[in-house]
Amino acid sequence: MGKSKARSLNKNIQDKFKYMTRESALNSVINNISAEDALDTITLFGFTAEELLEAGAEYEDVVALGGMVK
């Protein structure tokens, strides 16, 4: 495989936000709420604490996020 194809293939593999909808982003945050990527996704989509709790997040996890959620 040539260098150009290898770069193009790797670029598409690492581009995980290309087709992320609000619902899939919320599920991703709930599943990985302790990860640093969760904070990035929360601020990107502007999730509120109410949305996170309704989607099934633990109350303690949402409180631990503090000022990151509205």
Stronger pLDDT, 61 or 4, i.e. the higher one: 61
Q: Can you tell me the distance from the alpha carbon of 61 to that of 64, in angstroms, rounded to the nearest whole number?
A: 5
Is residue 47 very low, low, confident or very high in pLDDT (cuts 50, 70, 90)? very high
| Residues 7-44: tens digit of each pLDDT | 666 665 566 556 788 999 899 899 988 888 888 888 88
pTM over 0.85: no
pLDDT score recorded for residue 51: 93
What is the sign, positive or negative, of the torsion defined by CA atoms of 41, 47, 53, 59?
Answer: positive
Q: Is 61 exposed, middle or buried (0-12, 13-18, 19+ CB in 10 A)?
A: middle
Q: What is the pLDDT of residue 34?
A: 81
> Residue ranges per domain, the chain?
20-68
